[in-house]
Amino acid sequence: MLRLTTPISDEDIRSLHVGDSVLLNGIIVTGRDAAHKFLIEHFIRNQSDDPEDVALLEKLKPLLNGGVIYHCGPVVKKNEDGSWSFVAAGPTTSIREEVYEAEVIKFFNLKGVIGKGGMAGKTLQACHDQPAVYFHAIGGAATLIAQSVKEVVDVYKLEFGVPEAMWVIRVEDFPVVVTMDSHGQSIHDKVLAESEERFKQLVG
Q: Is 193 helix (H, G, I), strand (E, B) or coil?
A: helix
Is 42 a catalytic site residue? no
What contacts 59, CB < 8 A, 6 or more positions away? 154, 156
3-state SS string for 46-108: CCCCCHHHHHHHHHHHHHHCCCEEECECCEEEECCCCCEEEEECCECEHHHHHHHHHHHHHHH
How far is Cα 112 from Cα 30, in angstroms, rounded to an integer? 12
Considering the candidates 36, 71, 136, 188, report the single residue annotated as catalytic: 36
Are 60 and 156 in contact by the 8 Å Cβ rule? The answer is yes
Number of H helices, E strands in the chain: 7, 9
- Tell whether omega for the bond before 163 is within 30 degrees of 0, i.e. cis: no
Q: How would you classify the pairing of strands 166-180 and 21-30?
A: antiparallel
How far, in Å, CA of 56 to CA of 40, rounded? 14
CA distance 130 to 127: 5
Tell me the catalytic residues: 36
